[in-house]
Structure 1
Amino acid sequence: MSYIPLIFLEVIVPLLILLGIGALLQKKFEFRLRPIANLVTYCFLPAAVFLNLYEAEIDIGLLGQLTLYLVLFIVIVTIFGELLSRSLGLGGGEEAALKNSISLMNSGNYGLPVSQLVFSANPVGVSVQILVLVVQNLLTFTYGLYNLRSSSKSLIEMMRELLRLPVIHAMIGAFALKFLHADVPRFIMIPIEQLAGGFAAIALLLLGMQLAQIEIRSFHRVIAWSALGRLVVGPGIALVLILLLGIEGVIAQSLFIASAFPTSRNTATLALEYDVEPELHAQVVLYSTLLSSITVTLVIYLSMQIF
Structure 2
Amino acid sequence: MSDSVYQRSVTAASGSGQPVREQVQDYWDLLKPRVMTLVVFSGIAGLIVAPGSLHPVLAAVAILCIAVSAGAAGAINMWYDRDIDAVMARTKRRPIPTGRVEPSEALAFGIVLTIFSVMVMGLAVNWTAAALLALATLFYVFVYTIWLKRRTPQNIVIGGAAGAFPPMIGWAAVTGTVDPGSILLFGLIFMWTPPHFWALSLYRCEDYAKVGVPMLPVVAGKAATKRQMLLYTLLLLPLAPLPAVMGLTGWLYGVAALLLGLAFVGHALRVLRSPEADGEDHKPAKAMFKFSLTYLFGLFGLMMLDKAPGLVAFVGLGG
Q: TM-score, normalised by structure 1?
A: 0.32
Would you tell me which structure has more helix in proportion to its own residues? Answer: 1
Larger radius of gyration: 2
Bigger relative CO (Cα 8 Å, ≥ 6 apart) = 1
